[in-house]
Structure 1
Amino acid sequence: MAEEFKLVAQEWTSYSPKAGWSLRLKRLKRNILYLGPCHGSFRVAFVLGDKAVAAARQGRLPARVIKLIDEGERYPEGTGIRFDVKGPADIAAVRILTAVKLEN
């Protein structure tokens, strides 16, 4: 995905021992998505602006991801969503959300 979407800046960070490590993927200085390792899967997080939220609702995302967007916590930067990636359907949703974020 990093190559596909030209997310050339990759930054590993740990905010606290309890939170563990996360990988931030960026295009130039813009944060696109965050990945965190879990047992048997990984967690992905996005912060989507208003235009990206509207575009995501119109996209081909699974209903559960749309529900996460609708219920996502609002931050000054946008709506935060996160979910565990456990299989191909989840990876497809990550690709769609990444494209939506980059386009908006």
Structure 2
Amino acid sequence: MTTRSPTNQNLDAALIAMVQRHDAIFEEWDRLVEGDEDDPRIAALSGESCDIERKIVATPAFTQEGLDAKWRVLTRAELEAFDDLGIIDMILTLDAERVGTAG
């Protein structure tokens, strides 16, 4: 039996999985909108997208891959436009310090 140590596992596996789900939601959304902008499944995808975006923002990034993935979602969803209190900026600063890219 193999024991996983912090050096051989992805510390951002859960974050990356959420980002991949977010990517899939957007792909499905685009596909549905091309066919029918009034498709009732779009509302469900919108709700799921909003839920997962909040979770992605709140999930700490430990690797550059995780931080880059988080940034991609933030940019796509334009979440920083709604960050009047600077909460997202603070989370990203903490992520950058944790990853070692602050500066």
TM-score range, shorter chain: under 0.3
Which structure has more RCO (C-alpha within 8 Å, separation ≥ 6)? 2
Q: Which has the higher strand share?
A: 1
Q: TM-score, normalised by structure 1?
A: 0.26
Q: Which has the higher helix share?
A: 2
Q: TM-score, normalised by structure 2?
A: 0.26
